[in-house]
Amino acid sequence: MLKNISDPKLRETYGAILNGKYAHQVFCLNPGIDPTTKKPFHKPNFPIGYISTSGKVIDQCAVNKKGVPFAGIETSRDRFDGRKGFRCYCGNWSIQSPEEQPVLGGRERAQSTPPTREQMLEIHARVQKSGKGALNFVGGRAEYDGFALEEVQV
């Protein structure tokens, strides 16, 4: 079956999925709006990548007819609330948790330096106050901050 896939990178990715090396698939739930067409860059719940069993994030980039990416994991980050944050090529963004944003500046004013000890303590207090626990997977799926993780079933 895999030998029928012509793209070697895609063949390798599907092989890894079948061998159980990817624990979760990542979906973008809130696509950004294309300023030229005034339409979303892609449909909600668009698959944009995977997370391996070791926690590595793998981009599944989708490009338009001009070769410009419109969906996929542009970047990701392990957040202080214990969850992964993502930035999709469409503009959807969860790099900082809601508890981090008042301290680290959020999307518009994100600081480029590591947080100070005092900032870390403030973020920790905010996360503790929020009562966030482990992700709650319902039917193999968890949604948060505009993205979803779905357990990969082999």
pLDDT tens column, 64-102:
999 999 999 999 999 999 999 999 999 999 999 999 999
> 């968890």: which residue's tokens?
142
pLDDT in tens, 1-48: 656 667 776 666 666 666 667 789 999 999 999 999 999 999 999 999
- The pTM is what? 0.84
Q: Are 151 and 140 in contact (CB under 8 A)?
A: yes
Continuous segment of H or E residues that includes residue 123? helix 117-130
Q: How much of the chain is helix, strand and coil, in % rounded to 5? A: 25, 30, 45
